[in-house]
Structures are given as C-alpha cells and as structure tokens.
Amino acid sequence: MDINKKLVEEALKSRNNAYAPYSNFQVGAAVLTEDDEIYSGCNIENASYTPTVCAERVAIFKAVYDGHKKIKKVAIVGKLGDYTFPCGVCRQVIREFCTTDCEIIVIKNKEEYQTLKFTELFPHSFGPDSL
C-alpha cells in the first residue's frame, strides 16, 4: 500500500478517537518518522481551552517519546469534506521535528487529499537551525 494512503487511513481512524465535546471539531493526525514508523493522534479538548492539545502534537509527541526525533510526513484530517491545515502552534512543533523535505498531507476524505512541502506551509519559519 502507498505510504500516503496508509497515513490517510491512520489519520481518519484517529479522528474517531477525538475528544471534542466543546467544539465538536474532531481532528486526526498521523506522522511518519525518518525510521518509517507511523504514530497517530487526535485532538483532546479541555473546558479551560488552553490545555487543549491538537492531534498533530499528540502524534509527534508520541513519536518523540519513543525516540523518533525526525518526522518525514504529517497527515491531518478535520471536518470531512474540507481541508484542515495545522494551527500555528502545530506548525512550530512540526518545524522542530520535521526533516528538510517534510511533507504535509491535508485530507478532505479517504480519496481526496493534497500533499504540500512543509516550506510551502511555513515558508520563513524559526527552528533549531535559527539558533
């Protein structure tokens, strides 16, 4: 199976686990590490809003916890029928751990998705090499 399709499936599956009682906006994400491992995550809301965490960060932090420090691809699905792009905080976290050619896959549904280079999404980012 094509790796992008696998990431799309994992993100869609992860979306089902979202805890979004306040916004009702369920998001799923899947990331592919440099070692070709897949980690998935979903958004988890909180009544206080600030402690809410996005799906992309959940997936990335799970990968980092397991020792994977480089992400090659990130797949994101929100409301089916629309493309959902990562928020600013997630873009910064992706930047921290993405490879130089990292791809972002935004998913409309199982059959429709777009692939962008991270630099298209966040062209003038601040990252580890900026320090």
Domains of the chain and any CATH numbers: 3-130 (3.40.140.10)
- Compute the radius of gyration of the chain from its Cα atoms: 14
pTM score of the predicted model: 0.94
Known binding-site positions for Zn(2+): 54, 87, 90
pLDDT of residue 49: 86
Whole-number mean pLDDT of the chain? 96
Summarize pLDDT for 33-54 with one digit per residue, the tens: 999 999 999 999 999 988 999 9
Which parts are annotated binding residues for substrate?
Answer: 43-49
Quote the CA–CA distance of 31 and 104 in Å, as a whole number: 9
Whether the per-residue pLDDT at 26 is higher than 90: the answer is yes
Hunting for tokens 């990252």 — which residue is that? 127
User: Is 56 a known active-site residue?
Assistant: yes
Q: Which of 34, 56, 103, 111 is catalytic?
A: 56
Per-residue pLDDT at 48: 92
CB-based burial of residue 13 (10 Å sphere; 0-12 exposed, 13-18 middle, 19+ buried)?
middle
